[in-house]
Amino acid sequence: MNIVVLTGGSRGDTQPYAALAIGFRRAGHRVRFAAIPEFAPMVAGSGVEVIINDIDVKSMLQSDQGSGMLSAGRNQFRFLLNFAKLARPLLEQGLDRLVEVCRDCDGLVLGSTQILMGTRGNERLGVPFLAAYPMPGTATRRVPSILAPELPGWWPGRGLYNRFTHWFFDWLRDQLLGNLHAKVFSRLPAPAWTQSGPMPILYGYSPEVAPRPSDWPEHAQVTGYWFLDTPDYQPPPGLAHFLAAGPAPVFVGFGSMSDRDPEGATELVCRALEQAGCRGVLVTAWGGLHARGLPAHVLALKSVPYDWLFPRVSAVVHHCGAGTTGCGLRAGAPTVGVPHFGDQYFWARRVHALGAGPAPVPRRKLTAGRLARAIRAAVETPSIREKSAELGARIRRETGIDRAVELAVRHFEGCRAGRR
């Protein structure tokens, strides 16, 4: 089959789909994968064809709208409003290229940004498609929307509240974004064939972390994580020497969460590590932290494969993006969540509820003292270390990519048979 895997954005928005694209290729399919130039090497040597997306996502996230989105905290209206301002030109610019790459494909996999853009309009492409998301988005009475706060277990009417939050945030998204897909794709002529029935949705996270609700429809399935491993990675001498020179350090990194004051954020982190009595490895990534003038007990890198580093640290401190959360949990490393916005609060709550980390410290409330206390709890509490190790062992036994590929191919083949 000829399959297109479509995603965009930061490393966290890209890496799981690179792993999924390689999974399709290993199963014998022709695969084309959309990526910005920085992340194209993720699929190098795998036989996956890369479609270069030359939109400067990093600059967009560091723009006024991007900063507004990243600093939205629990204000989901502000988050969605700024996302809408960023997403509209992205989708409009990418329409012509999308039509071209889908012209002869047998199946289209829609990535994480589509969960916020909406899905109506994809049928105008005239090809079978499904959604592949790294966070839950199907309505249920069991848990609220990932964008909503969770009520205590004893609260009456939780089921109604949970269901309402899914409806409300879907409605709010459509109001703010005007359902971008439907509007942009309405330019296309009516295709000769359209997909019927509910759109299949594959969720790329572990059911051990967020169990599949019993009231979900059959077309929504949790497959397990889509990890992209780097077994041949060789660390630079400075990193290898630092790791060997003392006790296992604490990892600190906020991925694509850029900061308007990276110097201040880095100083805060260094003070917290010192107060906790821990060494640290900082990953600066897209500007949340910087690498200048650090104390001897802290090493900074621009990037490093998490699948290699996380098993070698004593705890991981991060923003609780879906991908980074999964990597930390698989490694069995205790997690300190510092959520910034959106679904990060959901993953931070899940980590704490599972006993794999202390209570999260939201970025807007972050101080050196609070972070130091959370790091000490993660490193020194036996129950957190034990729960993290047990959960990591269970996640490592899962085969999320194989399951996702199996379900996707079954859907695409069924659509192909129905078109004959």
* Confidence band of 193 (pLDDT split at 50, 70, 90): confident
Note the pLDDT of residue 112: 76
pLDDT of residue 299: 96
Mean pLDDT estimate for the chain: 87
3 state SS of 220: strand
Cα separation, 385 vs 390, in Å, equals 9
Three-state SS letters, 232-270: CCCCCHHHHHHHHCCCCCEEEECCCCCCCCHHHHHHHHH
| Domain boundaries defined on the chain | 2-225+398-419, 237-396
Domain 2-225+398-419 architecture: 3-Layer(aba) Sandwich (3.40)
Q: Identify residue 59 by its one-letter amino acid code.
A: S
What kind of fold does domain 237-396 have according to CATH?
Rossmann fold (3.40.50)
**Helix spans in 40-185 (H):** 57-61, 64-70, 76-101, 114-117, 158-177, 180-185
- Predicted confidence at residue 242, as pLDDT, reads 97
The pLDDT of residue 258 is above 70: no
Could you report the per-residue pLDDT of 137-160, keeping only the tens digit for each?
999 999 999 888 889 888 888 999
Instruction: Please compute, for residue 90, the number of CA atoms within 13 A of its CA located in the half-sphere on the CB side.
Output: 24
- Pick from 26, 44, 12: which is nearest to 133 by CA? 12
Res. 287: pLDDT tops 70: no
Could you give the dihedral angle defined by the CA atoms of residues 57, 364, 270 and 61, in that order, rounded to the nearest 10 degrees? 10
Least confident of 12-16, 286-290, 294-298, 366-370: 286-290
Q: What is the pLDDT of residues 90-142, one digit of tens each?
A: 666 666 667 777 878 999 998 876 665 556 667 778 889 999 999 999 999 99
Confidence of residue 313 (pLDDT cuts 50, 70, 90): very high
- Other CB atoms within 10 Å distance of the CB of residue 97: 15
The tokens describing 297, both together, are 């007990």
- Using alpha carbons, list the distances in angstroms from residue 148 to 111, 129, 173, 387: 22, 28, 13, 26
How do residues 76-87 score in pLDDT, each as one tens digit? 677 777 776 666
**What confidence tier does 290 reach under pLDDT thresholds 50, 70, 90?**
confident
d(CA 206, CA 193): 35
**Mean pLDDT of the 222-241 span:** 95
Question: Are 2-225+398-419 and 237-396 in the same CATH fold?
Answer: yes
Which two structure tokens, joined as six digits, stand for 281?
Answer: 């490895």
- What percentage of the chain exceeds 90 in pLDDT? 58
Residue 19, pLDDT score: 96
Q: Is the pLDDT of residue 376 over 90?
A: yes
- Supply the pLDDT for residue 93: 63
Specify whether the CB–CB gap between 112 and 133 falls below 8 A: yes
> Residue 266 in contact with residue 282, Cβ under 8 Å?
yes
Asked if 112 and 134 touch (Cβ cutoff 8 Å), the reply is yes
pLDDT (mean) for 188-213? 91
Residue 401, pLDDT above cutoff 90: yes
* Stretch (H or E) spanning 216: none
- Looking at residue 176, its pLDDT comes to 73
